[in-house]
Amino acid sequence: MDLYVWGGILAITLATVVARTVLLLLPGQLSWPPSIDAALRYAPACALAGIIAPDLLFVADSGEIAANPKLWGGLVGIFIFATTRSMIATIGGGMLVFTLSRLGLLPF
Amino acid sequence: MPESVQLAHPTPREAFNRGMRELLPAGPGVIAWGIVTGVAMVKSGLTVPEAIGLSLAAYAGSAQLAALPLIASVAPLWLVFVTALIVNLRFVVYSAAVRPYFQSLPARYRLSLGYIIGDIMFVKFTNLMQNEPRYHRPIAYYCGGAVCNWLIWQAASIAGIVLAKEIPPAWGLELAGTLALVALVVPLCRQYATLVGALISATVAVLAHGLPLRLGLLLGLLSGMAAAFWADRRRDAGMGS
């Protein structure tokens, strides 16, 4: 069992290294159509949006979409960042609203 | 403007420090995520040394969490490998985007730079390259932020592993990590095409949430990129240019 677990750790590590570096290690000029380059410019925003939306919308217990404290915290976070440009305020304010809502101290 | 001339030619140390400085506001998010991942590793049955080993070696939160149930059920190792690989496919997209900037470096540097790539520093680095394409020390900048992210993440993850029994899941610490990403994505969405891409990616990721192995995220990422590209083209065509 022990050795198997360390084998699993090695497998996860290898998979991560491969995914992160295979395109960087391929030698020579890799060329792809300019449209791919243009689309890659949008990768950061699309990746973030694709991570955030399910995190906020799905309720962990039921696995269903519902209005929930995380969603309120996230929406308040978006508002705070749009008005203050401060990441710390976004994290702090969002967590505060989430916690108050979770404890039933807010009307939503 | 002498100031901007000076900014365009920072020393490696100045660029490294700038990367660190720009990563630090996301620190609370990284800490919260690291703790949550550490706790989850112990809860899924790893011993403390195993969990610390996995965290230090793999440095891949969602792949670690996706593959752990397989290890708990003693699944074949190739399946563990494939699962982690699929969960990590977004990094292939990230490395395609940064390849032009790393291309001229020796292989061992490309290996290490790729190994420490993460969501936050990827966004920060591509922002810098788009806003200041002539920035003189992009690699040092990248290293500053990425190394800082690695250290914060590992410290938090190890704290989570050690304190696993003291941290109730109801605290919802993982939301702090999500909020850090919210703060990163909002300013990007001021551009029309980017906003379209982000909305499509979010929608597709939610609709495909039932897919295993975080394939919903990959599907969202790819369709968002395609949608943004298309929106950009359409707008150019519409303006008659």
CB B202 within 8 A of CB A53: yes
Is the residue at A47 inside a domain?
yes
pLDDT of residue B241: 46
Instruction: Give the B window 144-173 contacts with A, CB below 8 Å.
Output: 170-172
ipTM of the complex: 0.86
Is the residue at A82 inside a domain?
yes
B205-233 pLDDT per residue, tens: 999 988 887 788 889 999 999 999 999 98
Q: Looking at the structure, do residues B129 and B197 belong to the same domain, yes or no?
A: no
pLDDT of residue A38: 87
Cβ distance of A8 and B113 shorter than 8 Å:
no
B176-192 pLDDT per residue, tens: 888 988 888 898 898 89
Q: Which among B127, B149, B173 is the end of a domain?
A: B173
Is the residue at B182 inside a domain?
no
Is the residue at B29 inside a domain?
yes
**What is the distance in angstroms between the Cα of A73 and the nearest Cα belonging to chain B?**
8
Asked if residue B43 has pLDDT above 90, the reply is no
Cβ distance of B182 and A42 shorter than 8 Å:
no
CB A50 within 8 A of CB B201: yes
Asked if residue B1 has pLDDT above 80, the reply is no
Domain of residue B202 covers 189-241
pLDDT of residue B63: 84
How many domains does chain B contain in total? 2
Is the residue at B143 inside a domain?
yes
B130-167 pLDDT per residue, tens: 999 999 899 999 999 999 999 999 999 999 999 988 88
pLDDT of residue A1: 55
Report the alpha-carbon distance of residue B50 to residue B35 in Å, rounded. Answer: 16
> Which residues of chain A register pLDDT less than 50?
none
Residue of B182, B183, B205, B185 lying closest to B195 (CA atoms): B185
Q: Which among B118, B144, B173 is the end of a domain?
A: B173
Is the residue at B136 inside a domain?
yes
- Note whether B113 contacts A: Cβ–Cβ < 8 A: yes
Cβ distance of A42 and B229 shorter than 8 Å:
yes
Report the alpha-carbon distance of residue B21 to residue B104 in Å, rounded. Answer: 26
Residues forming beta bridges with residue A98, ordered by sequence position: none
How many domains does chain A contain in total? 1
